[in-house]
Amino acid sequence: MMDGKNIIYGETALDKLAQQVRATGQPQDIQSLTERYLEILRELVLAGEQQA
Amino acid sequence: MTAGTIERPTFTGNEAQQALAQEIYQLMAAQGRLFAFDAPIRQTLQNLADFYARQRQMDPAEAARLIDEALRVNDQVFMRQEINGDVVFITSRRGRYVPPQVDTLHTFKQRLYEPENPLPVDDISVVVTTTRPALTTVEPVFISEYWQQQAGLTPVVVERTVETPVEPVVAAPVVAEPVGVSAPVEEEERRVAPPAEPPQVNTVIVLPNGLQIDLRRPVAELMAQHGNTLMSQLRAAIENDPLRRLVMFGNQAFPEAALVSFGKNDLRRISDYIKEVGEPLLDTQIIADIFYHNPRQSDYEIFRFALNYRLSREKDFEFVGIEGARLWSVRNLPAIGTKRVKASEMGQLAGYIEEGFDDSLAEQSVESIRKSGQVSHILTFFEWEYGILPLTRALAALLPQPLLADQRSAVLRFDLPQHYLSTLVELRYPTGNRGGWLQGLEALFHDYLVPGALITLMRTDDPRTFAITYEEQEETQDRLLVLDETKKTPKFTFANISYACVVDTDMLVSQQQYGRLRNLKAFPMNERRKADLMLEHVFEIVGAPVGTRMKPKYAASFETLFVALNVLRPASHEYLTHLLTEGDHFAPDESRPGWWFYTPPPSLEEEEDEDQDEEHFDDEE
């Protein structure tokens, strides 16, 4: 759960992104990496919205 | 308290009671052997009776009676308590149990409030220490939302409460009129209890460059609209992450913690192998030949990424690959291309392209080049002589872009399919105001082409391999300009050369057309970067003298100047036009379009005269 104003793009949830990339077992290109990252941030924010 | 102070309890009663009491005491002392000296050791009569009856094979009730009597007699050792109907005997390792007394005579509470009128605190140091703590702690600093918004750290939240009060006011008359009396009541209710909206969570994030992204929108939509910004911002964040949670090589990323590490010995083996082969090697070749890693292995791509990432961080290795062909070079590898032109000099000579004087796209657009995958070009003398092609916009559209941000060059392979030849070519990327170029085509040009030849550079299926083709024609021999460097001072001369390629006759530097070019001075490369001076020299050589001895003046056509200037240094039509129009001593010939005049400045005239008749002028001076 997170408010959008607390998200720092490129810093927030970078650990989670690294975990996901590691789990794929393949280096990821920057486009798919960005898409994954946006999905993670989206989940964070929308989970916060649902909880609110 | 030490063992020396242990009191030995004495037991009373008859002999049997004393023996029983002593036995029970020893039993309970053993039970609490790890207790504190004064700590209570408790045991119920029931437990003691069960144990005693089982040991003596007697009735537990009888045993309980005997124990109770024996311990009651020895009440100085055993304290008897009844808790919820159970009889409990308490003793301690000391031999008796004394319940602890809480001393409340002097408490901290009393010391704070008593006496009722405490002495005044004259010196704050009495109650507050003035010494600094050994370790300073960093306290979080609260930054107000206003300043966070001003700094672009948080988005400016748009207030949405404006819509709510407007709605009932507009809707009220429409609903109220037919209902009559009940309408105001409803209106009242609506005012009192507005529709309960869930609290808004801000889903807008702000990128470091100020771009606001609403994460409520689908990812595909966001990528379609702001893909490049999102990718570049994420890349920058990953590259600047001090924890290196993710590391990048080219366009790929992977967690550094999960990468294979390469030791010094591995790096030495790679370096030795590249030197042994004598040319840059692909990462796949290094992996196969040195590490015997098979592409079918599940961790192959991670291993490959790790190798590339690690080599990119080593000073001794240089990445000279492109997307699809990751090539690695090392120091002290044989240079590709001519050594007669230094990289720093060539960067300056090709600088006119970065200054915007590039007309290579006049006849071919970038789209057509990318679509067709080929570029046509007419060789100039400089390009032919040194095997160098300036990296014009047209060539840049054809050739691969650098994969890494700080990549200096890429090594490509150029085939001459008409002669089944292949050569390595170094593509130097432009940096700042210095232009880029291709070098390494010297032998290929000299063997099969001449200045003025029309060549076509084209892509192949291999991303790092390109082809050069030319249109063939019957072999022709002509006296063409060459640079004779066999003597101490290089000089231009004409020599018989046979060629079998189609040429642009205007650009063919033949003796018949450009005989005066033998008088060109072969300036050192560092002087040739001064394009205006080179043009003046070229004008004096190829221009027709139209002035007098005292007031010399030269006339030359634009095309002649273009060919002649490109003997000394690369220049585009646009750059030559710029030099002529901006130069103080050049003027267009109004009577003949495309012709220019050059009037040397007086100081140059004197210097020339000095050269011609040195002694005479020396005497005068």
% chain B with pLDDT above 70: 82
- Residue ranges making up the domain that contains A9: 4-51
- Which positions in chain B touch A9 (Cβ < 8 Å)? 205-208, 213, 233-234, 237
Most confident segment among B121-125, B147-151, B306-310: B306-310
Task: List the beta bridge partners of residue B372.
Answer: none
Question: A41 and B205: CB-CB below 8 Å?
Answer: yes
Give B250's Cβ-side CA count (13 Å radius): 22
Question: A46 and B237: CB-CB below 8 Å?
Answer: no
CB B297 within 8 A of CB B290: no
Handedness of CA B209, B215, B216, B218 (dihedral sign): positive
Task: List the beta bridge partners of residue B471.
Answer: none
Question: B215 and A41: CB-CB below 8 Å?
Answer: yes
pLDDT at residue number B38: 86
The pLDDT of residue B491 is above 60: yes
DSSP B425: E
HEC assignment per residue over B236-278: HHHHCCCCCCCEEECCEEECHHHCCCCCHHHHHHHHHHHHHHC
* pTM for the full predicted model: 0.66
Average model confidence (pLDDT) for chain A? 88
- Which positions in chain B touch A15 (Cβ < 8 Å)? 245
Calpha distance B384→B387 (Å, rounded): 5
pLDDT tens digits for B221-258?
Answer: 999 999 999 999 999 999 999 889 999 999 999 999 99
ipTM > 0.85, yes or no:
yes
Calpha distance B564→B584 (Å, rounded): 20
Question: B215 and A9: CB-CB below 8 Å?
Answer: no
Residues 22-41 of A with CB under 8 A from B: 22, 25-31, 33-35, 37-39, 41
% chain B with pLDDT above 90: 64
SS3 B379: coil
pLDDT tens digits for A9-32?
Answer: 999 999 999 999 999 999 999 999
The pLDDT of residue B410 is above 90: yes
Phi, psi of B252 (to 5 degrees): -110, 155
Calpha distance B410→B399 (Å, rounded): 10
* Angle, helices B15-31/B45-56, rounded to nearest 10 degrees: 110
pLDDT tens digits for B265-300?
Answer: 999 999 999 999 999 999 999 999 999 999 999 899
The pLDDT of residue B8 is above 90: no
Task: List the beta bridge partners of residue B478.
Answer: B497
Report how many domains make up chain A: 1
Q: Which residue, A39, A16, A9, is CA-closest to B222?
A: A39
Question: B215 and A4: CB-CB below 8 Å?
Answer: yes
Chain length of chain B: 621
Check residues B479 and B173 and name the one with the higher pLDDT: B479
Q: How far is CA B516 from CA B365, B378, B570, B601, in A?
A: 36, 22, 19, 22
Calpha distance B535→B554 (Å, rounded): 12
Question: B215 and A31: CB-CB below 8 Å?
Answer: no
DSSP assignment of B409-421: EEEEEEEETTTTE
- Which positions in chain B touch A41 (Cβ < 8 Å)? 205, 215
Of B215, B219, B241, the CB nearest to A35: B219
Cis bond upstream, residue B430 (ω within 30): no
Calpha distance B355→B435 (Å, rounded): 9
CA B353 to chain centre: 28
DSSP B462: S
pLDDT at residue number B616: 40
Q: How far is CA B80 from CA A40, B67, B71, B276, in A?
A: 69, 12, 8, 96
Among B203, B213, B226, B240, pick the best mutation site for testing chain A contact (most A Cβ within 10 A): B203
Closest-approach residue (CA) in chain A for B232? A30
DSSP A52: -
Give B383's Cβ-side CA count (13 Å radius): 26
Question: A25 and B236: CB-CB below 8 Å?
Answer: no
Domains of chain B from N-terminus onward: 3-91 (1.10.10), 205-240 (no CATH), 249-330 (1.10.10), 530-621 (1.10.10)
